Amino acid sequence: MKSSVPVRKVNIPVAAGRNLALVLEAAALAILSVRGIDSTRFVERHKRAMDEDSEEP
């Protein structure tokens, strides 16, 4: 089945031994910035959600 939703592809060159999580986080924050989304609010909301999840038994 062929999708009708366009998906952007981005190549991010990463040197061996780099922390992939940090690279992806930086890329995500850059995308938010390009879209006009305040990344500080996003990060705060994300941290709150992560903290709430860690409190569950």
pLDDT tens string 1-57: 676 888 777 777 888 888 888 888 888 888 888 888 888 887 888 888 888 877 666
User: Can you tell me the distance from the alpha carbon of 26 to that of 43, in angstroms, rounded to the nearest whole number?
Assistant: 12
Closest CA to 40 of 27, 29, 51: 29
Question: Quick one: tokens of 45?
Answer: 């909301």
List the domain boundaries for the chain. Answer: 20-55
Describe the chain by its helix, strand, coil percentages, rounded to 5. Answer: 55, 0, 45
CB-CB contact of 20 with 14 (8 Å) = yes
Closest CA to 12 of 29, 27, 33, 34: 27
